[in-house]
Amino acid sequence: MLPSDNVSTLSGVGKTTATRLQKLGIETVKDLIFHFPRAFERRGEVRLLSAFSPDFSSSYLLCVATEVKSVKIRGNMVISKFRAFDDSGSVEVVFFNSPYVKDVFHIGSVFRFFGKITSSKGRLQLQNPKYEAYVEGIPLPDLVPVYPLTSGISSKQIDKLVSQAINEVVPKLTDPLPEHLRVKLSLPTLSFAIKNAHFPIDELSLIKSQERLAFDEMLAFGIGISMSAKSKSRGEGVRFSKTSLTPLTSLLPYELTDSQKQAINDIYSDTVIPKAGKVSPMARIIVGDVGCGKTVCAVAALYIAAKSGYQSTLMVPTEILATQHYNEVSTLLGALGIKVELLIGSTSKKEKNRIKNAAEIGDVDVIIGTHALIVDDFSFKNLGLIITDEQHRFGVNQRAALKEKEKRAHLLVMSATPIPRTLALTMYGDLDISRITEMPKGRQRVDTYVVGEEYRTRLNDFISKQVSFGGQCYVVCPSIDEEESDENELLTERIGSFVKAGALNLKSAVQYAEELRASLSHLRIATLHGKMKPKEKDEIMSAFSRGEIDVLVSTTVIEVGVNVPNASLMIVENAERFGLSQLHQLRGRVGRGNRKSFCVLVSNARNEKSLARLEVMRTTYDGYKIAESDLLIRGPGDFFSSNSDNNLRQSGGFEFKFASLCDSTDLFSRAFSTAKAIIEDDPELSRPEHQAIKEAVISRLNVSSSTIS
């Protein structure tokens, strides 16, 4: 069996199961091996029944005391019951709609049960626990994986298939990290890392495995960046003409900040003023807070390109954001005689053909759109400038695809996360950086508060009050539905950091929206999350921006939302579950109009680190200071966050799984310094010992081999 073999080659995988596994992104045996657990249940800490806690699930080693009795009740439900005991007492074990348990549990047999015990009038009950047969001398695992699932696929199925795949294929995998580097960096082998990331021997093995896999992700990313930086200086770029920006700035209803002026000067210098007799292709990123005014800098670049006789394109991740940019840019540039078009997925075929023809013959100056811009049959007559609005996501292959259309074209990237300087120099090693550190004059500060669950009634009253004043409200939850916050799971929030099972109580967007509809029935409440189709999400965001929705209950998908001037209240549930930079992004969604705006962070966290982070949010409004605090408190992982609402691979970015859990700045630094050293030593990754690394980079960046050579 080979890693590239279809998953159907595994025993127990028929056509139906293979189809279901496809929904999880599993098509090959290698896909299955890299389908890692989303959480772990800590079952190794066995309690006595007398020491049970009603607040969270625990493990109990119990002997079956009575035969299983099953009875049918209304609706054909079957309830199966029996009693079990340990040295401290007994408990009634109950299963619903599981009649087969009568063949599993026999008097005198011993099992390790995992679940939450309830007590009523002194009688203990354990409902639908997970269980494993106990045989003396054969240890049971302390940490049990909890996998992402889909309808028709159980955790036991995934567990069994992963075990089979690991045994068959992992010994055949080539470790991309040369042995001398692995030993020097004190990292485990790839084989050890994969096995223990699924079925850890102990917590330390899990931590070490996750660190190795995080290192691999950051190394591949760093190599991609280093190779791009190496190639940045090659060739000659188009030279734009000397252009006065007065006609453009005179149309602006505000004065540019010093930071904006400096960013525009940087762009002008890159594209107009030759160095050593030539202009190299610009590769620059503008980094700054949400609402700091990056877009007007991009408009200035578009204006310079158009006045120089070159076409430009501005690509953004969502249709609604593309439409917003089109409305802003076309208003400004249209008044100056510059032709601007919008090309998105929902554009009609006839209109797309018209815009494509206009681009090919040079009858359009600026095209704003989504990924429709990088389709193979789309070309420009005279493309001189490419702008991508990354919205703090990093799209290496996305930029590469656009650059393939015209290698001499200048590149400008916008990022809405104010990243610390030291981190930015590493993450954006292939780009020159312009930092916008000021907010436009007149921009209101969003007052921020941290409250606990006991404020729920007052918070609902505050929502109602804001809406009655004409405002709108965002409510952000950390999960989409209840299944994502299974009380029995043990989440690995950070590498090496565990949360007690059942102690999470995460607010889910779907469930909480229903609760709000019940308590605030006079308001128009909608739900938005990443599992919705793009068109459905755009429709809801459009309705919210038009004022047709009072309260939008969402996951973090609204980070890349549109400007809604009436939005005056941002509520973040389980705020301790978010990184500071992410919270700052969310806070930036309100206060974009003339209304006094507020951000309320709801959290019952009690640990010192969480309280310290929330206090930073309450008292600090400078995005760069927040980013520095986030790096010190939480590590670099937050800047690699990849949650379910942002399909990074689909949007042309780099998909991080383990790097987003990493709080080790040292591991981050070692990965990037190793990447830089490898590329300096072997720029084309042509040596035999680097072939496996090259293949890993190609696979992770989802690019062709020619792109990185």
Convert 277-315 into a string of H (helix), E (strand) and C (coil). Answer: CECCCCEEEEEECCCCCHHHHHHHHHHHHHHCCCEEEEE
Q: Does 662 reside within a domain?
A: no
pLDDT value at residue 79: 94
User: Could you tell me which residue, 291 or 200, shows the higher pLDDT?
Assistant: 200
Beta 58-64 vs 110-115: how paired, if at all?
antiparallel
Inside any domain, residue 641: no
In a domain, 696, yes or no: no
DSSP H helices in 552-649: 580-587, 608-619, 623-634
pLDDT tens digits for range 171-202: 888 899 999 999 999 999 999 999 999 999 99
Provide the 3-class DSSP secondary structure of residue 598. strand
Structure-model confidence comparison of residues 223 and 244, the more confident one: 244
What is the model's pLDDT at position 480? Answer: 61
Domain boundary among 413, 436, 459: 436
Task: Please state which of the ranges 92-106, 428-442, 608-622 shows the lowest mean pLDDT.
Answer: 428-442
User: 219-233, 391-405, 407-421, 579-593 — which is least confidently predicted?
Assistant: 391-405
Both 156 and 287 in a single domain? Answer: no
Going by pLDDT thresholds of 50, 70 and 90, the confidence category of residue 498 is low
Averaged over 654-680, what is the pLDDT? Answer: 80
User: In the prediction, which pLDDT does 200 show?
Assistant: 93
Could you identify the residue written with the tokens 């004022």? 547
- Report the C-alpha dihedral over residues 338, 343, 344, 347, rounded to 10 degrees: 120
Highest mean pLDDT among 57-71, 224-238, 411-425, 664-678: 57-71
Give a yes or no: residue 489 inside a domain. Answer: yes
Q: Indicate if 598 and 551 belong to the same structural domain.
A: yes
pLDDT band at 506 (very low <50, low <70, confident <90, very high): low
Rounded CA gap, 155 and 191, in Å? 22
Same domain, 603 and 501: yes
DSSP 28: B
Q: Cα(702)–Cα(342) distance, rounded to whole angstroms?
A: 27
Q: Are residues 391 and 245 in the same domain?
A: yes
Across residues 496-500, what is the average pLDDT? Answer: 53
pLDDT at 216: 92
- In this predicted structure, the answer to whether residue 489 has a pLDDT above a threshold of 50 is no
473, containing H or E segment: strand 472-476
Among 173, 190, 220, the domain boundary falls at 173
CA distance 600 to 450: 6
| Residues 483, 577 within the same domain | yes
Whether 204 is in a domain gets the answer no
- CATH number for the domain spanning 4: value is 1.10.150
Over residues 486-496, the mean pLDDT reads 49
pLDDT for residue 491 is more than 50: no
User: Is 538 within the bounds of a domain?
Assistant: yes
Does one domain contain both 346 and 412?
A: yes
Are 473 and 597 within 8 A, CB to CB? no
Residue 31 has pLDDT above 60, yes or no: yes
Please spell the DSSP secondary structure of 400-412, one letter per residue: HHHHTT-TTSEEE
- pTM for the complete prediction? 0.71
pLDDT at 13 over 70: yes
From CA 633, how far away is CA 648, in angstroms rounded? 25
Across the range 602-628, mean pLDDT stands at: 84
Query: Rounded to an integer, what is the distance from CA 568 to the centroid of its chain?
Result: 25
Beta bridge partners of 312: 366, 385
How would residue 257 be classed by pLDDT, with cut points 50, 70 and 90?
very high
**Residue 651: which pLDDT band, with cuts at 50, 70 and 90?**
very low
Please report, for the domain that includes residue 90, its CATH number: 2.40.50.140
Question: Is residue 24 located within the same domain as residue 152?
Answer: yes
- Residues 109 and 160 both lie in one domain: no
Structural domain count of the chain: 4
- Who has greater pLDDT, 520 or 640? 520
Which structural domain range is residue 2 located in? 1-37+144-173
Q: Among 416-420, 595-599, 647-651, name the one with the lowest average pLDDT.
A: 647-651
Mean per-residue pLDDT for 273-299? Answer: 86
Kindly state the average pLDDT of the residues 617-638: 77
Q: 154-163, 187-196, 480-489, 529-538: which range is least confident on average?
A: 480-489
CA angle 313, 318, 323 (to 5 degrees): 65
| Same domain (yes/no): 252, 157 | no
CA distances from 62 to 52, 56, 105, 142, 500 (A): 13, 18, 11, 17, 22
- Report whether pLDDT(393) > 50: no
Average pLDDT of the segment spanning 19-47: 90
* The predicted structure's pLDDT at residue 315: 87
Longest dimension (CA), the chain: 90
Instruction: State the pLDDT at residue 559.
Output: 52
Determine, yes or no, domain membership for 669: no
Would you state the pLDDT for residue 4? Answer: 87
Instruction: Of 197-201, 235-239, 399-403, give the lowest mean pLDDT range.
Output: 399-403
Q: Kindly state whether residues 135 and 162 are assigned to the same domain.
A: no
Give DSSP secondary structure letters for 521-578.
TTS-EEEE-TTS-HHHHHHHHHHHHTT--SEEEE-GGGGG----TTEEEEEETTGGGS
Asked if the structure places residue 495 within a domain, the reply is yes
CATH number at residue 328: 3.40.50.300
Residues 271-296, mean pLDDT to the nearest whole number: 86
Q: How far apart are the first and last CA of the chain?
A: 31
Give tens-digit pLDDT for 553-598: 988 766 555 678 899 999 999 888 887 878 888 888 888 877 899 9
537 contacts 557 by C-beta, under 8 angstroms = yes
Read off the pLDDT of residues 115-167 as tens digits, 9 standing for 90 and up. Answer: 999 998 889 999 999 999 999 999 999 999 988 888 888 888 999 999 999 99
Quote the distance between the C-alpha of residue 319 and its chain's center.
19
Residue 567 is encoded by which pair of tokens? 């939005």
Rounded-to-integer distance, Cα 372 and Cα 374, Å: 6
Mean pLDDT taken over the chain: 84
Q: Are 152 and 241 in the same domain? A: no
Q: What is the mean pLDDT of residues 383-402?
A: 66
Q: Looking at the structure, do residues 26 and 77 belong to the same domain, yes or no?
A: no
